Structure formats: C-alpha cells, structure tokens
Structure 1
Amino acid sequence: MKKLWKGIPILSLAVVLVLTACGSNKSNSANSSNSAPAGSSAPASSAVPEGPKYNFRLAETHPADYPTTKGDQKFAELVKERSNGRITIDVFPGSQLGEEKAVIEQVQLGAIEFTRVSAGALGGFNKEYEAFSLPYIFDNEDHQWKFLNSEDGTKLLDSLESSRMKGLAYYSSGSRNFYSSKPLNSIKDLKGLKIRVQQNKVNIDLMNALGANATPMPYGEVFGALQTGIIDAAENNFPSYLTSNHYQKAKNLILDQHQRVPEVLLISKLAWDKLNPEDQQLIKQAALDSVATQREEWSKFEKDAEAKVRESGVNIVEVSDLKPWQDAVKPMIERYRAEFGAILDAIDKARN
C-alpha cells in the first residue's frame, strides 16, 4: 500500500503536466494568427497588424520603367509597409506572367492575384467599360478624374465582382492622338486614310464618323504595317508612340485628344474573399494611395516622350479648336447613348 500511495502524487503530477501541455498547444493554435512571426523582435504591444501571412503576384504587361509598373510597385511597397511585411506582392513586368487576356483569365481563377489592365479590356465583363472608348466624352484630364473618383466611378470598379474580379483603383494613360505617314493638319486630312484601330466596334465606328477607313489589327503588327503601307496611320498616347518606334514611320502627329481610356488595378475575387476585412481595407487604401505616384510618373514620362518625339523631327500640330472634331462624332455618341446612357449621364454629371 505504501508503494501505491507513494506513486499517486507522481502519477497525478504527470497527468497535470500532460493536460497543461495540451491546453497550452490548443491555446497557441487558436491564437496563432495573433502571434508575432517566428524570430520577430516585435514587443508585446507591437503595431504589426494581426492576421496570416500572404505572398501575392501582380502581372504587368508594360516594362519595369513604365508609369503603370511604377504605380504597381508603389502599391506593393505600401501594402508591405502597412502590414509590416506580413503581406507581400511581387510585381512581374514585361508580360512575364502572360499577355493581358491570358492574365485576366488567371486572375479570375485565382492563379494570379493581381493585375493592371486597360479599361478597354474589361468591356467583355461589364459592357459599360466600352464607353471609355467613345470619343470626347471627357473635356480634359480633370473632368476624367472627377468621374473616376466619384461614387459612380467606384461602382464601376465594384461591378467586376460578378466576373470574379474586383477593381481597386484607376491609373492614368493620358489621351490618344492620331499619327500618320501623311500630313495631318486638320480633321479633313483623316478622310480616306487607312487607320489601325483596336479590335472593337466603338473604334471602328469612330473612324467611320471621321471619314477614315478603320483597319483593325493587333498592336504588335502596327510598325510593320506602317512600314509597308498597309496602313497610313494609327493612334495612341505619346509614350506608346515613342516606345513602339511608330514615330519613325509615321512622322505626322495631330494632338486631337480623342480618347481618354484609364487603366485599372485588379485583384482576384477569390483572393479578396480570403482576406479579413482589415486586410481588405489595407489593400484597397494602398491601391488608392498609389494613384498619386502613378499619375506623377505618367506626367513625367509623357513630357519626356513628347520632348524626344519633337527632337526626332516629327511634325506636331496642336488643335486649338476641338469643336469640329466633337461635332463630327456627336451623332455616333448619341447612337450609343441608348446602350451607355447611365455611364454617360454620370460622366456628364461629373462635368458640373
């Protein structure tokens, strides 16, 4: 009996220790998302946001020194900084993760978490995005950003959720202008020209309204088509005109500013839904705060591109009166009003 009683305290102590250890593991497991990462030197009252770690990817088609890429990088930097390194986003420029259409599909599947695309590429997911291709719907850059920053602009970003994506912010891409191998001094000079356009109905209708012949073709084929005379002209913003080397074959540029199509920073809806509300807000705000950097970089890049184009000897014509251009496309816009009435009304409202 002595031996039996003597062993009971030892056995009891062992049971207590086992139970204590199990309770400790359960507690640690339950609170693992609230604990500092292993090896962290953060104090108990650390400001590190609580939650799991993430490492995301962002696909970008433009090169590393392009303004949209610099906006992406600022966004990634803000997310990492504000999460104290808990959430990281690796930016892959230069189409490393694929071309725009393929990347959008990967974002929908959640295989790639973020991307930056032209608003024009999103018309297949929400038809209202096609309205951005309509000419002269914005008076100037300020008018465009008043709309993009409005409640209606935000609703347009959120509308992509039904297509398994979520818009986070808009980026700038300037205005588009016509350039040609033939002289361009006024709207009359567009008549009869074979002009390359993006492959959508709005752009084809625009060329018809201006009396030109629309020639849809992929962007990568434009230089060769200008060189061989398959097309007479094309249209784009200053940076693209320069970096594509189109200015070497089409040395006449008219600053008609017929379109202002924004860029959109996207997140996969699958990735978004995995985030807690605090992380969602952190990412959304970082995206919005990166816009200032992207717009500043765009402004500098655009001015630098214009200076280089002028130095190359391109004949540049300023358009002092846009009314003839606006009058020429007005019937076209009115035809589309039945289709895009709501967004055109919202854009008109932002003018006031």
Structure 2
Amino acid sequence: MNSGQFMVRKVKFMAGQLTTAAGFLVLLSSSCLVALLWKSKKRHVPGKDLYLYLIQLLSLALSSYLVKNTHSSLESKQGLPLINQVMSWTTLASSLIVPLLSSTVLFLRLLSIFLSLMSTYLLLSTGYEALFPPALTLLMFVWITMEQEARKSYGVSLKPKLAALSFSHTADITEFRQLHVGDIRRSFFYVFFIVTAFFGTGNIASINSFDPASVYCFLTVFSPFMMGGLLLWKIAIPFLLVSCAFEAVQVTTQLSSKRLFLIVLVISDIMALHFFFLVKDYGSWLDIGTSISHYVLVMSFAIFLMLLSGLSQLLTTKRLELWKRTKRHSL
C-alpha cells in the first residue's frame, strides 16, 4: 500500500469517526432531555409522547450504526446490505410523519422535529457536516430564549410561560400585537441564519461538489434523479430547522406570522435589488454569468422562503392523533 492510499483510508476513517461522534453527542444530550421530561411527565408531558421520544432516540442510534456498518460493508466489497437499505428508506419516509405525532408544546415539538431530521441527516453524512445541525440547533435554542427575554422590554407578557407555550396557541389568538423595531431584528436574524445554513457545510452552490458516498446508505447504483433528490433533502434539513425556530419565535413574541414574514420578504427584495445593480453586461463570460446567477438566486430566495414557511408551519402546528380515547358506556 502506497502513501496515497494510506492517506485516503485515513481521511475516510476520520470522517466516519466524526459522523459516529455526532450521533453519539446528539443521542447523549437528547437522552438527558428525555430523562428530565420523564421526571416531570405528570405535570407537562403525557406518557405516550415520552414513548415516542424513546422510539426516536432508538432511531437515532440505529442511524449511527447503519452509517458505520454500511461503509464497513462497502469497504470490504460486500455491497450494501438489504436490511440497511430498508431501514434507511424507512427512516427517511418517517422523518416528516413522526413529529406530527408529538405534542404541540413548543420545545417538545422542536425536540421531536430535531430528532427525526437528525436521524436522516446522519444517514446522508460522510464527515464533519454531521456536527453542523446540532450546533445550529443549539444556536436556535439560544435565539428563541433571547427573543423571549427581549419581548419583556415592550411590556408584552404572555399568560403561559415559555415551557408551556404551544404552537396551537396561534390559532386561539385573535388580536396580535403591533409591529416594533425589534421585529426587524428578528426578521434579519432569520435571513442571516438561512444564509448560514446555506453555506454552513461548505460550498453547496453546485450539487456536483457533493461526495456520492453521502447516499450509500440508500443506494449504490448510479441514479442521478434519486441521488439528486436525496442531496437536495440533505441541503433542506438545516433550512427547515431554522424555519421551525422562526415559527417558535413568532409564538413567543405573540406576533402574527404573516406580519413578520412580510418583513422577511422586504429584506429579500432589498437583497435582490442590490444584486440587480451588480449585474454586468461586459467583461468575461464568467463575470457576466456569475453576476446573473447571483441575481437569479436571490430572486428565487423569496419563493423558497415561502415554501419553507409553509412546510415549517405544517410540522409545528399540525398533529396526528393515533391514540384517541374511546368512551365506554355502561349498560
């Protein structure tokens, strides 16, 4: 074995270790949170929701194992095991359904969304990018807590405390407060975090820059449309985490989502106007094409945010009831 092959194997080994470490850190921290919820289940959390979180923790641990086992099987030239492929697709299909079964209490629903999306993200990770969603989620938690404290400066006080706030309360609020200067800051932070999620794991302006090993847990046969769809979903997961946190900020500040989102659209239009004046019709073809692509990308940014907002509202406010209580009538 020459030095080049040794370095390649060493890099792949370190990348696999980072993915496993990310899964272990998320599993450890989430287990501590679920343990705390278990102690207070009589006051805040129903028992059926706690069992759902335990299932999600098992799914997260299984995803970490599948990544390690799949890459080990491929390195030994044994191919992708069928059971690993079935479990990977099952985890992906359930990532948007399982959170809808959890409670709509703010932090409980956000925890369920994070665990489901993180399980899928681990299956699509090959190295250091697996550490990005946990770091981004921690930053979102700090942002929500900061906005909860900042709203007190306006004399706004919600009846439920932060630990008892629910996404379903937005449907019960008939009168929202007026806009303040601080709402511009909240909208700007949202746009800033979306851009951070865009460039957080490297240059994702081109799908060709991704390593095909990202989809080896799902398929090993070349399929451009399937592989492209999986990579696009991997890109969208950090965006979805930021958008769900933005929905939580709207609940904590008792502000209509339409009003706050209009400020976001105004900021995106200002960005588009800025790049419009930077469009060049002279110079090299590279400069002209780059300036036009930047303008088109920012123009489509508003449409993307609208679709993202609709998906995040669906994930945070809706709930599927599978355990409906039936009343027994005595004869």
TM-score by length of structure 1 reads 0.25
TM-score by length of structure 2 reads 0.26
More helix, by proportion? 2
More strand, by proportion? 1
Larger Rg: 1
